[in-house]
Amino acid sequence: MARPDPLSEESLNAVIYADLRQRLVTGRMAPGHELSTRGLAAELGVSQTPVRDALSRLAADGAVEIRTKRRIVVPVMTQERFDDLLRCRLLLEPVAAEHALEYIDARGIASMREIDAALDRAIATRDADAYMRNNHAFHFTLYRAQPGATLTQLIETLWLQFGPFMRLVYDRLDAVHLNDQHQAALAAIAVRDAKALRAAIAADIADGMGLIGRAGLAAEGMSAGA
């Protein structure tokens, strides 16, 4: 990680934590992947201390498991864990979208439309990295429009736990069906229809996670050995 200027210890810790969070949210670390503090430190060009700090925070988020001092893994997905994440997303994200509705302005709506177009291109070209990145950006451009940080932080924690699994099974899916509800959400935002927006976000989560769950948890070995 190239850094032109020295960072304070606190800032460096935050940078490393943000970097690893982004890798998890976009699925660049797969379930079962083992993490090495030494390897990550070498890759990022830092000492092992901020990496350990970041991994400890991610463990508190439920995104990684620290099994021993040297064995840190991205958790595998089980049916129970999948159902729990789905239930929590359905509880929190439609509410966050509704709360954001009065705050999302014309610039935010335009940004979401641009992101949605990028998602369509990612689906058409089977670009998994672009799909994961833009799908996250679409949802959080909306959620972060509302001023309260706590709700968005809770949702981000759920995405940290779900991202690795979603990325793993992406290639097994008929991805054309994953983006159906984004247009419905944009239409609801345009006319300020809170009920329709909640329904669109809930349907997006249920439809997408349903496809992902059937594809991933049915695969050999995906639901075993957590």
All structural domains of the chain with their residue ranges: 9-73, 79-217
How far is Cα of residue 116 from the mean position of the Cα atoms in its chain? 16
Tell me how crowded residue 104 is: count the other CB atoms within 10 A of its CB. 21
Q: Measured over all CA atoms, what is the biggest interatomic distance in the chain, rounded to whole angstroms?
A: 53
What average pLDDT does this structure show over 171-187? 72
What whole-number distance in Å separates Cα of residue 112 and Cα of residue 139? 8
Q: Thinking of the domain 79-217, which architecture would CATH place it in?
A: Up-down Bundle (1.20)
By percentage, how much of the chain surpasses pLDDT 70?
86
Asked if pLDDT for residue 224 goes beyond 50, the answer is: no
Taking domain 9-73, whether its CATH number is 1.10.10.10 is answered by yes
Cα dihedral 167, 169, 171, 176, rounded to 10, equals -90
Residue pair 172/216 in contact (Cβ under 8 Å)? The answer is yes
Residue 41 phi, psi dihedral angles, 5° rounding: -60, -45
Per-residue pLDDT, 220:
41
Q: Which pLDDT band, with edges at 50, 70 and 90, does 6 fall under? A: low
Per-residue pLDDT, 4:
42
Q: Which pLDDT band, with edges at 50, 70 and 90, does 126 fall under? A: confident
Q: Which pLDDT band, with edges at 50, 70 and 90, does 177 fall under? A: low
What average pLDDT does this structure show over 160-175? 76
Least confident of 1-5, 25-29, 137-141: 1-5
Per-residue pLDDT, 166:
85
CB-neighbour burial class of residue 165 (10 A; exposed 0-12, middle 13-18, buried 19+): buried
Between 125 and 210, the higher pLDDT residue: 125
Asked if pLDDT for residue 80 goes beyond 50, the answer is: yes
What whole-number distance in Å separates Cα of residue 190 and Cα of residue 134? 20
Asked if pLDDT for residue 107 goes beyond 50, the answer is: yes
What whole-number distance in Å separates Cα of residue 52 and Cα of residue 60? 12
3-state SS class at 211: helix
Per-residue pLDDT, 218:
61
Per-residue pLDDT, 168:
76
What mean pLDDT, rounded, does the chain reach? 87
What whole-number distance in Å separates Cα of residue 54 and Cα of residue 24? 12
What average pLDDT does this structure show over 103-120? 96
Asked if pLDDT for residue 1 goes beyond 60, the answer is: no
For the chain, count helices (H), then strands (E).
9, 3
CB-neighbour burial class of residue 202 (10 A; exposed 0-12, middle 13-18, buried 19+): middle
Residues in the chain: 226
